[in-house]
Amino acid sequence: MTHLSADELVDALDDTLESGRQAHLDACESCRQQVVELEATLGATRDVAVPEPSPLYWEHLSRRVRTAIDAEPPTAGGGSRWLRWPVLAPIAALALLVMALAVSLPREAPIAPAVATNEAADTAVDDRFAVVADLVGDLDWDTAVSAGLIVSPGAADRAVLDLTALEQRELARLLQAELTRAKS
Amino acid sequence: MTHESAVRNAWTPAVATGWTVTVVEPDAPGTDGAISVEGMDDAALIAASMAGRRDAFDAIVERHRRTVYQVCYRFVGNHEDASDLSQESFVRAWRGLKTFKGQAALSTWLYRIAVNVCLNRVSVKTPPTDPIESTDHFEDTRVEGAQAALLREERAATVRKAIASLPKKQRATLILRTYHDLSHQQIADILGSSVGATKANFFHALANLKKLLGNEP
Ligand SMILES: [Zn+2]
């Protein structure tokens, strides 16, 4: 039987050696010796800590990072320009408007299931949903949370962008109906 | 502190019931009214950093600077280079915030950046390692204790120097596996290699260390 390969010797160190190969290891003095030596080297290595810098060093490192980031071009890093707070606030207000619009609508009967399977109707619905998409743009969940848009209840949190296809259509339909009514 | 808007409405369309939409006015970054980053988890800190809050990124640095520094130190074996590489790692993290999708833990993502920064380091010569501290450091201990401590530190410096002289991928694998408890799979993901290659690198790293360290206990 062949001796343990490099991979298998590492598995032996990790105690994850496959049983057939473990049987070889148990019976093979040469492989056992290799594992013992690897364990000894690993033990001697593991004990070695990184010298602890001065307690003042950590704040110094933070300052260095801050200074280096300040020198970065404004387009780099977090907060791509349009996502900054002055821009986020109106977006939040806009999203609020969408929600307010929705809550002001009267209840209507559920959509007939046939709508979901009708391709032409789907396209029309997608167009209507584009109204919502235009309003909320690329607002993702994290951004929505950052912007202060929080949807409850708790564990069942769902954002407007997390709606099922049926829910999206219903929201689009409600909005479209409201917009039509506003125009007339 | 933020204030909840007066608007708090329930929306009950035909297909979704019982929703409540609450709008909380956001605060500008760096203002007194900003939500504190203290209690934020990594995901929230990332989101806030992407929204332009520098204090959130400062908090990320504060939370992970020791780990990143330690990876870098083990890679190069000296404080000065480790410090430069740590700074570079965080700057790259800042630049790459938009690419962080949350598919991995923030710490794993930072490991990946730090290791890549270390691997891409221009210098290929054997890095200088920090000198061993003198016995002055141990002046308050008994002479025997001081000597034992000095021996221990000499030994540690020898090991650190040996690690810093390993081929780069072996070095990265050994560091992440031995000191940061990453799985072979995580290391393979970071280095863009297979689990088999990672295990082979780990084996060769240990075999090379054994040679470099000779028969010392
Ligand atoms: Zn064997």
DSSP string, B1-20: ---EEEEEEEE--SS--SEE
Whether the pLDDT of residue A119 is over 90: the answer is: no
What is the rounded average pLDDT of the residues A64-85? 72
pLDDT confidence band for A146 (50 / 70 / 90): very low
Do A123 and A179 lie in a common domain? yes
Nearest in space to B209 (alpha carbons), one of B183, B180, B184, B173: B173
Asked if the Cβ–Cβ distance from B199 to A7 is below 8 Å, we say yes
Query: Which residue carries 């329930």 as its tokens?
Result: B10
Q: Report yes or no for ipTM above 0.85.
A: no
> Which of residues B217 and A153 earns the better pLDDT score?
B217
What is the rounded average pLDDT of the residues A45-71? 95
What element of type H or E holds B124? Answer: none
Please state the domain count of chain A.
3
Cα–Cα distance for residue pair A156/B187, rounded to 1 Å: 35
Give the tens place of pLDDT for each residue, A168-178. Answer: 566 566 666 65
Phi, psi of A62 (to 5 degrees): -60, -40
Do A69 and A26 lie in a common domain? no
> Which of residues A72 and A160 earns the better pLDDT score?
A72
Asked if the Cβ–Cβ distance from B15 to A170 is below 8 Å, we say yes
Which CATH entry fits the domain spanning B1-122: 3.40.50.720, 1.10.1740.10, 3.30.1360.30, 3.40.1260.10? 1.10.1740.10
Instruction: Specify the CATH architecture of the domain B144-217.
Output: Orthogonal Bundle (1.10)
What are the residue ranges spanned by the domains of chain B? 1-122, 144-217
What is the rounded average pLDDT of the residues A176-182? 62
The alpha carbon of residue A47 is apart from the nearest alpha carbon of chain B, in Å, by 8
Contact B11/A at CB under 8 A:
yes
pLDDT confidence band for A114 (50 / 70 / 90): very low
Over the Cα atoms of chain A, what is R_g?
A: 31
Chain mean pLDDT for chain A:
68
Do A128 and A156 lie in a common domain? yes
Joined tokens for residue A71: 């020198």
The alpha carbon of residue B86 is apart from the nearest alpha carbon of chain A, in Å, by 8
Cis check: omega of the bond before A153, within 30 degrees of 0: yes
Cα–Cα distance for residue pair A77/B23, rounded to 1 Å: 27
Do A128 and A167 lie in a common domain? yes
Query: Could you tell me the pTM of the whole model?
Result: 0.62
Asked if the Cβ–Cβ distance from A163 to B16 is below 8 Å, we say yes
Amino acid at A92: A
Among all residues of chain B, which has the CA nearest to that of A38? B206
CA of B182 to the centre of ligand 1 (A): 28
Asked if the Cβ–Cβ distance from A92 to B23 is below 8 Å, we say yes
Compute CA distances A169 → A13, A104, A128, A164, B5, whole Å: 57, 17, 8, 9, 28
For the beta carbon of residue B212, count every other beta carbon within 10 angstroms. Answer: 16
Q: Nearest Cβ partner of A151 from B21, B52, B203?
A: B21
Phi, psi of B148 (to 5 degrees): -65, -40
B21 DSSP β-pair partners: A151, B9
Asked if the Cβ–Cβ distance from A100 to B7 is below 8 Å, we say yes
> SS3 for B102?
coil
Do A39 and A64 lie in a common domain? no
What element of type H or E holds A49? Answer: none
What's the half-sphere exposure (Cβ side, CA atoms, 13 Å) at A171? 24
Please give the pLDDT value at position B1. Answer: 40
Are residues A101 and B70 in contact, defined by beta-carbon separation less than 8 angstroms?
Answer: no
Please give the pLDDT value at position B72. Answer: 97
* Edge-to-edge order in the sheet of strand A149-152: A149-152, B19-24, B4-11
Extract the residue ranges of chain B whose pLDDT is less than 70: 1-34, 122-129, 131-142, 215-217
Nearest in space to B105 (alpha carbons), one of B32, B164, B181, B159: B181
Asked if the Cβ–Cβ distance from A107 to B53 is below 8 Å, we say no
Among all residues of chain A, which has the CA nearest to that of B91? A69
Asked if the Cβ–Cβ distance from A170 to B13 is below 8 Å, we say yes
List of chain B residues whose C-beta atoms are within 8 Å of the C-beta of residue A48: 155-156, 159-160
Please give the pLDDT value at position A184. Answer: 52
Are residues B166 and B156 in contact, defined by beta-carbon separation less than 8 angstroms?
Answer: no
Query: Which residue carries 């800042």 as its tokens?
Result: B94
Please give the pLDDT value at position A74. Answer: 73
Please give the pLDDT value at position A139. Answer: 46
Do A141 and A88 lie in a common domain? no
The alpha carbon of residue B38 is apart from the nearest alpha carbon of chain A, in Å, by 15
Residues 6+ apart with CB under 8 A from B173: B187, B191, B198, B201, B202, B205
The alpha carbon of residue A165 is apart from the nearest alpha carbon of chain B, in Å, by 11
What is the rounded average pLDDT of the residues A71-84? 62
Q: What domain range is A82 assigned to?
A: 55-104
Contact A94/B at CB under 8 A:
no
Do A134 and A177 lie in a common domain? yes
List of chain A residues whose C-beta atoms are within 8 Å of the C-beta of residue B94: 69, 72, 76-78
Please give the pLDDT value at position A79. Answer: 53
Whether the pLDDT of residue A36 is over 90: the answer is: yes
Q: How large is the greatest C-alpha to C-alpha distance in chain A, in angstroms?
A: 91
Asked if the Cβ–Cβ distance from B14 to A107 is below 8 Å, we say yes
What is the rounded average pLDDT of the residues A136-140? 44
**DSSP label of B31:** S
A144 in a structural domain: yes
Cα–Cα distance for residue pair A25/A33, rounded to 1 Å: 10
Cα–Cα distance for residue pair B51/A80, rounded to 1 Å: 7
The alpha carbon of residue B20 is apart from the nearest alpha carbon of chain A, in Å, by 5
Nearest in space to B109 (alpha carbons), one of B76, B71, B78, B74: B71
Over the Cα atoms of chain B, what is R_g?
A: 24
